[in-house]
Structure 1
Amino acid sequence: MQLDFEEAEDFRGIRILRQVDYLAYAYETSHAAADADGAPNAYHPDDLGKNCRRDAHVGLDCLGNAGYPNSGWWRDVLVPDPADSSTAYVQPDGATAGFFVAATALRRPGGRKTDPTTFVDATSVPYVVNPSGISALPHIGRPGDVGFATHLASGRTTAFIIGDAGGGDDARLGEGSIALFAALGFPGANPRTGAGLPRDKVQYIVFPDSRRPGVAIWPRSNADIAAQVAGLLRDTPGIS
């Protein structure tokens, strides 16, 4: 997209541009990282202690990337077992029985934390991750807000929702779900190894305060998100 936005602040080396009335902001980055969180098959107990890059895994991602079991922050990624909060909850039944439940910042209001469908499935929903610390910036998007991504070299595009947040003090803009990168033409994006991701720039446009209120915040269909984003792209001055 062509943007007539004003240059604003930097966030960890990436320049953020803002629409004059703060209706949107944008950034371009060649940094890319794939997120599996929210997928019901993201993490599996049998992968405990495995090397993230060298070893074959049952889950889509490595438990080391979730900080499990030795970090103080693994509960931000995995749902603790209600019967024993020192361990992560294992799904007892269903198609992904035996896997842990991986949470996302965006979730179904009132949904049970032990139910994987409460969260945003990284394998089916294009979402971006808000890096830790970005919430301190003004007029910034929050989980549930929507936006539009373009892989600049190919022109492939997708609407998205802000589905997750975190990553610590070193987290950068450019992390998104497996489904987001697949929609941009990179179906092999691997959250465990970092393989299969774009190495050139992706442009992201985010519409703050675009999330739906109340129970409508989640779940939403990809088609519903795309329709909302199409209207915002059309009606926001400075985007063509």
Structure 2
Amino acid sequence: MSILVVDRWMEYRGTVVHSIDTGARQAYAYLSPNIIVTADGAPDAYHPDNLGTGHIRKTHWPDGDWQRALVADPDHPRRPLQQTGGRNAGYFVSITALNDPSRSRTDPTAYVDAGRIPYLVLPAPFHAIDGSGDLGDFVVAYHPVTRRFSYGLIGDIGADRPLGEISMRMASDLSGHRAEAKSGQGVPFGSMLCLVFPKSRMTPAWPMPPAAIRARCEHLLKRLGGQMRLPQLAEALAE
């Protein structure tokens, strides 16, 4: 098994980030003391009557800069586009920075569904730091209390807040229960280990089925010693 060289890299909003070097690939990891869960990208995330899995106030609609979170109606640009058919009729189209460029911006399936895909959100100022990774790079999350892990990718760029914002699906993987952003149900308590592999994204970066995400993460993690490394790494970063 290769030896992990772990060094303090930087501190961001109170969270210490460590670089990891095995000689073959650079990565970084941090323990996030709080888990923030997002519904962004889910077709049932936001509804004008606040019926979605995410709270409508997160989008800043109707009085704020909601265009950063929702697709504007092409025919009525001053209001968000509502889906017109299917089980999510009436819901707004929620966006993620990672999306399928071959699909229309108004297509809900162009975005990374937070309820189905495990993904990590990078705060915009952190994303601007060289070496922090980019959309589509792969991520492994681990929860020391539940001892559960999740294989995902960087799926969105968010506001300037502490590290540790993840999709509902990633939170569900870590807790073993269905997690919702609005209610907070199913969200695991305690610190979460995030292991990020910059420059690991594939082409195209999206869309990608969950099985392919898992296979790629397993391949990257194998170079560090596999899943058994995650508890060791979490313990080392906690010291």
Structure 1 gap segments, 5+ residues each: 48-57
The aligned counterpart of 1:230 is 218
- TM-score for the superposition, normalised by structure 1: 0.87
Whether the 8 Å CA contact 1:33–1:176 is kept in 2: the answer is yes
Instruction: Give the aligned residue type for 2:39.
Output: A
The aligned counterpart of 1:140 is 132
Instruction: Give the aligned residue type for 2:220.
Output: L
Matches within 5 A, 1:77-226: 77-167=69-159, 169=160, 171-213=161-203, 216-226=204-214
Instruction: Give the aligned residue type for 1:129.
Output: V
Instruction: Give the aligned residue type for 2:28.
Output: Y
Q: Give the number of equivalent residue pairs.
A: 224
Which range moved further: 31-40 or 183-192? 183-192
Whether the 8 Å CA contact 1:42–1:102 is kept in 2: the answer is yes
Structure 1 stretches (4+) deviating beyond 6 angstroms? none
Instruction: Give the aligned residue type for 1:28.
Output: L
The percentage of aligned residue pairs carrying the same residue is 35
Instruction: Give the aligned residue type for 2:162.
Output: R
Which range moved further: 116-125 or 132-141? 132-141
- TM-score for the superposition, normalised by structure 2: 0.87
Whether the 8 Å CA contact 2:172–2:187 is kept in 1: the answer is no
The aligned counterpart of 1:65 is 58
**Which whole-Å CA distance do the structure 1 matches of 2:106 and 2:49 have between them?**
19
Deviations 1:144-178 (A, max 9, x none): 111111101121011111111112x3x11111111
**Which whole-Å CA distance do the structure 1 matches of 2:11 and 2:176 have between them?**
27
**Which whole-Å CA distance do the structure 1 matches of 2:54 and 2:213 have between them?**
26
The aligned counterpart of 1:40 is 43
**Shift of residue 138 of structure 1?**
2.2
**Which whole-Å CA distance do the structure 2 matches of 1:80 and 1:127 have between them?**
24
**Shift of residue 28 of structure 1?**
0.6
Deviations 1:105-138 (A, max 9, x none): 1100232111110001111111111112112322
